[in-house]
Structure 1
Amino acid sequence: MKRILFFLVIMLFGLAACGQSDNKGSGDENSEPQPLEVDLQVPEHADSGEAVSMTAKVTQGGENVGDADEVEFEIWQEGAKDDSEMIEAEYQEDGVYGIEKKFDADGTFIVQSHVTARQMHIMPKKSIVIGDAKDEDAEEGHSHGDDETAGEDDSNHHHHDDLAVELHAPDSLTVHEESEVTVSINQEDEPLTGANVTLEIYHDPEEDPQWVNLTEGDNGMYAGKVTFAHSGEHDITIHVKKEELHTHEETTLGVEE
């Protein structure tokens, strides 16, 4: 009888250990960080002098994010990025952050939300036509995805001459295959740490860009994995943000079949 009880105790301990192991494995899977998603809502048209509501709904893994570190809306008239206005958004509910803005002049304006949350940074943007202005780019079939860089110099995006930003990628990139890319950032010949670094990747200006949030490593290195859905040339904008520092660097990558 004692032997039977002894073996039963051993079996119970074994089952408990297996259960803890299974739970641990499940927890590791769930600990994988989910990408940050921002649904930017901007009306296509409004009248000058009208109060326009604009919102950004922030989610991660399908869950609302109500604890974002910073949500701001940057607004500028097309072709005048150097005169952009930055407005801090207020949290409303269910992961939604919003502002109200009155436009005093007719024209096409670009609205870009800057969302920093959970060590990620994402910056989707849309356009709004005010008054009787015509959206000339839309009529010509161009996307506003390139408005940020069209007709502006580096100073419009707070470019820092003492900042060196360089993208490192494998010599050969193949479509549909995951590849790791890294960005090295140095300021005054010293590694820049604690920054939010994001890649904005365009293959076709008619399509929405692919956003990739990079993870900080050692010595000013930031890394992430990218899967390219198309072959050919891709335009890459590297966005770097840390406190008051907000700059970008542009480059290209070729992807093979």
Structure 2
Amino acid sequence: MKKLLFLLIGLLAFALAACSDAKDNNKSTGDDLPKMVEVTILLPDKIDPNVETEIKAHVTQDGKNVEDANEVKFEVFKNGDKEHEMIEAKHAGDGIYSIKKTFAEAGQYVVISHVTARDMHVMPKKEFVVGNPSEESADGHGDHESGDGHESAEGHDHGHGHGSVAIDFPVTSAAAGQETLLTAAIKHDDKPLTGATVRFEVWKDGVEKHEFLSAAEMAEGTYELKHAFPSAGDWTVNVHVEKGKDLHEHQEKIVTVK
């Protein structure tokens, strides 16, 4: 009888240990997340007015060139200008995406590369000078976040924080009427972005009403919420990330609901 009792206790302990290991294996860690896409903006040492200039973005992931970026665009504007030109880049190989641009005036300029690759969106910014800096007043040479952002559906400005922000939002499909886990893994300068305010802006194609849903930080740099899409169709989910006064980034993605 005692042998049977000891045998049952041993089996119970083994079962509990197996369950504990399974739970540990199911935990999400930072190592499970894909490597961040990194973008380096390359500019000539000297840029003269009225001379065609090549602007490049070198796109890599885990030290390897990214040759299959979904979209690379350059947003170029002169400091103080409200009009921002958006130019689509061409793939030149070896992870390089480039545009050619002629600047009509000397002055202080800003370029932001909008890179969408491997379910991530990266938007590094770089300021540069065209011509002789002494020919232009330094007025207006500051962070373009103040007053030169993009307008959101709620009318808020979308400034761009310093450095590179990568948003990994892997959800592409969902079932109508069923809760779907929306997850965004966010890094700033290749480190998990903690303590940010993250909202998912959700709307259906052709419908004016936009719903804003607040996500909770479940792990360092990982934000989640559960949402049930009420009907089938193409829904747009725009992940808004805010921290402090200067950082406000966003990434849009289409989710197909069946």
| TM-score normalised per structure 2 | 0.54
Deviation at 1:105, TM superposition (A): 1.2
Q: Which amino acid aligns with 2:211?
A: E
Which residue of 2 is the match for residue 157 of structure 1? Answer: 150
Q: How many angstroms apart in 1 are the aligned matches of 2:63 and 2:52?
A: 30
Matched residues in 1 for 2:212 and 2:193: separation? 27
Residue 125 (structure 1) shift: 1.5
Per the TM alignment, residue 115 of structure 1 is displaced from its structure 2 partner at its CA by: 0.6
Q: 1:126 — aligned with what?
A: 126
Distance 2:226 2:48 in 1: 50
Which residue does 1:238 correspond to in 2?
A: 248
Say if 1:222 and 1:182 are closer, same or farther in 2 by CA, change over 3 A: farther
In angstroms, what is the RMSD of aligned CA positions? 4.2
SS in 2 for 1:111: strand
> Which amino acid is 2:129 matched to?
V
**Within-5 A mapping of 1:201-220:** 217-219=225-227
Asked if structure 2 preserves the Cα contact closer than 8 Å seen for 1:57 and 1:97, the reply is yes
Residue among 190, 194, 215 paired with 2:211: 190
Distance 1:108 1:69, change over 3 A: same
Going from structure 1 to structure 2, the CA distance change for 1:36 and 1:46 (only over 3 Å counts) comes to same
User: Cα 1:66–1:215, aligned 2, differ >3 Å: closer, same or farther?
Assistant: farther
The 1:101/1:242 distance shift into structure 2, 3 A limit, reads same
User: Is the 2:46–2:130 contact (alpha carbons within 8 Å) kept by the matching residues of 1?
Assistant: yes
Deviation at 1:238, TM superposition (A): 2.1
Alpha-carbon distance in structure 2 between the residues aligned to 1:164 and 1:127: 20
SS in structure 1 at match of 2:126 = strand
For 2:48, the aligned partner's letter is D
Distance verdict in 2 for CA 1:177–1:100, change over 3 Å: closer
- 2:105 and 2:130 in contact (8 A); partners too: yes
Q: Equivalent residue of 2:200, what SS?
A: strand
1:116 and 1:53 map into 2 onto residues whose CA distance is 20
Moved more, 179-188 or 65-74: 179-188
1:13-28 to 2 correspondence within 5 Å?
none
Amino acid at match of 2:44: P
* Letter matched to residue 183 of structure 1: V
For structure 2, the 5+ residue unaligned runs are: 1-28, 159-190, 203-208, 214-219, 228-236, 254-258
Q: Within 1, Cα distance between the matches of 2:54 and 2:69?
A: 20
Structure-1 separation of matches of 2:132 and 2:193: 46
1:216–1:37 distance in 2 versus 1, CA, 3 Å: farther
Distance 1:223 1:133, change over 3 A: closer
Kindly indicate whether the alpha-carbon contact (under 8 Å) linking 2:200 and 2:238 is maintained by their aligned counterparts in 1.
yes
- 2:96 match: 96
CA drift of 1:37 comes to 0.6
Higher helix share: 1
Matched residue, 2:68: 67
Partner-residue secondary structure (3-state), 1:66 = coil
Cα separation, 1, equivalents of 2:251 and 2:240: 15
The amino acid that maps onto 2:123 is M
Q: How many residues align?
A: 173
- SS of the counterpart of 2:59? strand
TM-score (norm 1): 0.54
Residue by residue over 1:17-50, the C-alpha shift from the partner in whole angstroms, topping out at 9 and shown as x without a partner, is xxxxxxxxxxx99863001111111235311110
% identical equivalent positions? 32
Q: 2:80 is matched with which residue?
A: 79
